[in-house]
Amino acid sequence: MTAKNNRSLNRRDFLRIAATVSIGAVTACTTPATPEVAPEPTKATVEEKPVVEAPEPTAATAPEVTTPTEVPPVEEPSLGSTLIGELEGPSLSDIMPAKFSEAPQLAELVKAGTLPPVEERIGLDPLVIAPVHEIGTYGGIWRRGFTGPGDTLNADRATAGTDGLVYWDFTGTTVVPNIAKELQINDTGTEFTFILRRNMKWSDGEPFTADDVLFWWNDVQLNKELSPIPSSLMHINGKLGTVEKIDDLTVVFKFPEPYWMFPEVVAGSYSGQSNAATFQCAHYVKQFHAAYTDKAALEKAALDAKFDNWVNYYKAKADWHKNPDLPVVSPWKCVTPITDTVWTWERNPYSIWVDTEGNQLPYIDQVVMTLAENLEVLNLRAIAGEYDFQARHITLSKLPVLLENQEKGNYKVHLDVGNYGADLVVWINFWHELDAYVGELLRDVDFRRALSISINRDEMNETFWLGTGSPGNCAPGETNKFSPGPDARALWATYDPDQANALLDKVGLDKKDAQGYRLRADNGQRLSIELQTKGAQFLEYTAMAEMMKEHWALVGIDIAVKEVERALGYTREANNETQLSLWTGDGSDNFFLWTASGIPTVYNGFLDYYNSHGEKGQEPFPALKRMTEIMWTGYGMPEAERIEAGKEFWRLHTDNCVQIGVVGLGAAAMGVRVSKNDMGNTPARQYCTPWVRNPGISRPQTFFWKK
């Protein structure tokens, strides 16, 4: 079946189920307005207080009564009004419950004497969560799907990625306490003091202390074998910070320059043990570390376990995705590895989270994730109602059939729309060298602009987003604090083949062959540009590429679509073998926190240039050079200054077509969600972006089964 036939079928099915979508209704619901920036404090403390809900709007004025001859037409509700709910989520409470209780299965273990009482397990400072809707009940299994050993973020988002020292409130705008009880910042933004929770414990009952943070720093980040370069988390403007222990509950991160963004980076960079950042379970992993055991014996143990050396052996043992024996501090603990066909978690008996009535969280006993051979299988299972709460890997093209099967599958479909500018991005490799002439074209701004305005974004939106997205470039939505203005998303993103043809003639591609394709100026042969896709991971990348190939053919550009396996695609990009690539741009609503979307290149030749002070790599062109400076220096700017720099970043990005955004402000990138009707405390809409790790931002430990 051709791409054109696919487009017709999808659109017809969609119209049969829902009315034509009002794009304005969708984009208006993308995210709450950014609050005004407060003056920079001389000393800041993240207080453990509940989020203040916005006041309810006043009732609308009643419409005027019309005469019988003035009956207005009946308008069908837009998809946005039915599938995009109000942003909501749980909040933190500083009121400590008077008493505590636990799941029945844990109460039985306490009764049998094999587990301490709940009051001893949660510590003296449990984190109190006010559920979004109601106090839940214990029991049951949460069913999800995953795609294999490379799908680690599936769990980091849902079951364990919320174990950082600090985290986000449900709006994704405010950093709140988490594993750490309190964060204090000095008046110069150079010292960040984390105060840990008293008597907090790992899942095996051993104490969690500042030593676990110090071990991560001294024995992992400063160990040249384990970390040739310490974590980027610890660098500001190329300068390395330090970590110091004050006492068992107090640890200080110090930096040589102001690092005002550090709390956001810790909250938004997968900073818990799930990704070995900011702390590790020292008492367990020391047995696999060369500094704490006989190195020769350790190397032999590594070889016996089929590892090349002790370093890789250590990394595997310190990875909870692969090692169920590793103690954790997350709500659930992995009990079968990601390499199995069923990836399973059980409640952590030492979880520090409780609800406002003192019930230890999580409510749900187990999270069971089953392997799907491919995305089609995973989506078919979702349609059949086999998943309880899942957005990851649910594709927007399945929306019509998902809606059709809601009642049968006992679920509701939600669209968790994002505020990043582009679900789909054409990544441009400015450093391409294998074909020098193509590399020269990719670095020519007029060529990039011609590529951008040759794309019929409206057709792309109707076909693949079913009309629910917003055509435009990579700039975030207007309500985003970094948005450069209301017209920013349209710059060089409006379909104009006539202007594209003029620009292509201008760059020297003014001759064509008999089929109408443009000829190279260097050798007179047909110009062909390779567009790499990584298959259907989150979007239908290859089908999308084939449609854009048709668009580009209309202005004489021949595109060769090359689909590769995801890991191979990353390898080709890292080896500077690609020309154009397709991937998502999610997370760019705060590009400082999600550099995969913020750094606008594929092969990072400019990083080599900066790291070597110009001795290696390739010097960026002026706009990209300035964008990179903003990326590097923004972390040390006070927020008001950083926001203005972010606006400059996007002005440069859009005017220079540093990346080519296609359609955004939608739900295509992990925002199409199915939620079972009888699962409680699931939000009407959750903030959707990688750096808040949705659904983690909705605190899944508060989800429960109503029956």
CATH of the domain at 275: 3.90.76.10
Residues 685 and 649 in one domain: no
For strand 580-583 and strand 250-254, is the pairing parallel, antiparallel, or unpaired? unpaired
Picking from 288, 323, 358, the residue at the C-terminal end of a domain is 323
Find tokens 């009940």 and name the residue: 137
CA 645 from centre of chain? 22
Quick one: which of 557, 440, 442 has its CA closest to 509?
Answer: 557
Rounded distance between C-alpha atoms, residue 552 and residue 558, angstroms? 7
Phi, psi of 400 (to 5 degrees): -60, -45
Count of residues making up the chain: 707
Structural domain includes residue 54: no
Tokens found for residue 595: 């550099």
Pairwise CA distance, residues 693 & 681, whole Å: 17
pLDDT of amino acid 269: 65
CATH (domain of 132): 3.40.190.10
Residues 370, 511 within the same domain: no
147 and 125 in contact (C-beta within 8 Å)?
Answer: no
In a domain, 72, yes or no: no
End-to-end alpha-carbon separation of the chain, Å? 44
Q: Are residues 180 and 152 in the same domain?
A: no
Structure-token pair, residue 356: 């406002």
296, 375: one domain: no
Structurally, the chain folds into a number of domains equal to 3
pTM of the entire predicted model: 0.84
Looking only at the bridges linking them, the beta strands covering 425-428 and 704-705 are unpaired
Q: Identify residue 699 by its one-letter amino acid code.
A: R
Query: What are the backbone dihedrals phi and psi of residue 526, each rounded to the nearest 5 degrees, phi first?
Result: -65, 135
Question: Which class for 164: exposed (0-12), middle (13-18), buried (19 or more C-beta within 10 A)?
Answer: buried
> Could you give the dihedral angle defined by the CA atoms of residues 448, 449, 450 and 455, in that order, rounded to the nearest 10 degrees?
100
pLDDT of residue 418: 86
Last residue of a domain, one of 276, 307, 323: 323
CB burial of residue 72 (10 Å; 0-12, 13-18, 19+): exposed
Neighbours of 177 (CB within 10 A): 23
Residue 161 carries which side chain, given as an amino acid letter? G
Contact 652, 658 (CB under 8 A): yes
457 and 595 assigned to the same domain: yes
Q: Measuring CA to CA, which residue among 563, 235, 573 is closest to residue 431?
A: 573
Q: Within this chain, do residues 552 and 610 fall inside the same structural domain, yes or no?
A: yes
Q: Is residue 291 part of a domain?
A: yes
Say if residue 513 is in the same domain as residue 535: yes
What is residue 353's predicted lDDT score, i.e. its pLDDT? 98
Structure tokens at 363: 């409510």
Residues of the chain with pLDDT under 70: 1-81, 269-276, 536, 595-608, 610-613
Rg (CA), the chain: 26
Residue whose tokens read 């709460």: 389
Longest Cα separation, the chain: 93
Distance from C-alpha of 453 to C-alpha of 574, rounded to nearest angstrom? 28
Q: Look-up: residue for tokens 């199995």?
A: 340
CA atoms of 156 and 175, how far apart (whole Å) = 18
Asked if residue 365 and residue 450 are part of one domain, the reply reads: no
Same domain (yes/no): 484, 587: yes
Residue 48 lies inside a defined structural domain of this protein: no
H-type helices in 56-201, by residue range? 79-83, 104-112, 118-121, 152-155
334, containing H or E segment: strand 332-334
Last residue in a domain, options 294, 323, 352? 323
Whether residue 108 lies inside any domain: the answer is yes
Are residues 457 and 526 both part of a single domain?
yes
| Residues 361 and 450 both lie in one domain | no
CB atoms near residue 226 (< 10 Å)? 18
Q: In which domain, by residue range, is 356 found?
A: 90-162+330-417+668-707
What is the C-alpha separation between 659 and 224, in angstroms, rounded?
Answer: 35
Residue 35 lies inside a defined structural domain of this protein: no
Q: Is there a domain that residue 26 lies in?
A: no
CATH number, residue 511: 3.10.105.10
> So what's the pLDDT on residue 618?
75
Q: Note whether 657 and 573 are same-domain residues.
A: yes
The pLDDT assigned to 454 comes to 98
Paired sense of beta strands 141-146 and 366-371, if any = parallel
The span from the CA of 475 to the CA of 648, in Å, is 11
Burial 511-537 (b: 16+ CB within 10 A, else e): eeeeeebbbbeeeeeebebbbbbbebb
